Amino acid sequence: MDNRERVAAVLKTVSKKTTMPDADESLFDSGFLDSFDLPDMVSALEQEFQIKIPDSDLNPRKFESIARIESYVESRK
């Protein structure tokens, strides 16, 4: 699996939706994540990619879409 697929797999475990959004689609506006899903998403990403996401990076815009998350986790590796 490439990183985008891994991010999508993580999203599937956190989101209540069964479909998948487009890579650039807002996960918030499209209802894939709500405010309280976001901390779970961050924790799941930390586990999947074996990274520590610091509090200073907990900016919702970094986690707005699959493509943005992919870009972020790649910057942390």
Q: Which residues bind other proteins (CB under 8 A)?
A: 28, 35-36, 38-39, 42, 55-56, 58-60
CB of 32 vs other proteins, minimal distance in Å: 13
The residue (of 23 and 38) whose beta carbon lies closer to other proteins is: 38
In the complex with other proteins, which residue's Cβ is closer, 5 or 13? Answer: 13
- Do 32 and 21 touch, CB atoms closer than 8 A? yes
- What is the rounded end-to-end Cα distance, in angstroms, of the chain? 16
Distance in Å, CB of 69 to other proteins, minimum: 14
User: Are residues 72 and 4 in contact, defined by beta-carbon separation less than 8 angstroms?
Assistant: no
- Smallest gap, in angstroms, from Cβ of residue 40 to other proteins? 9
56: left (phi over 0), alpha (psi -120 to 50) or beta: alpha
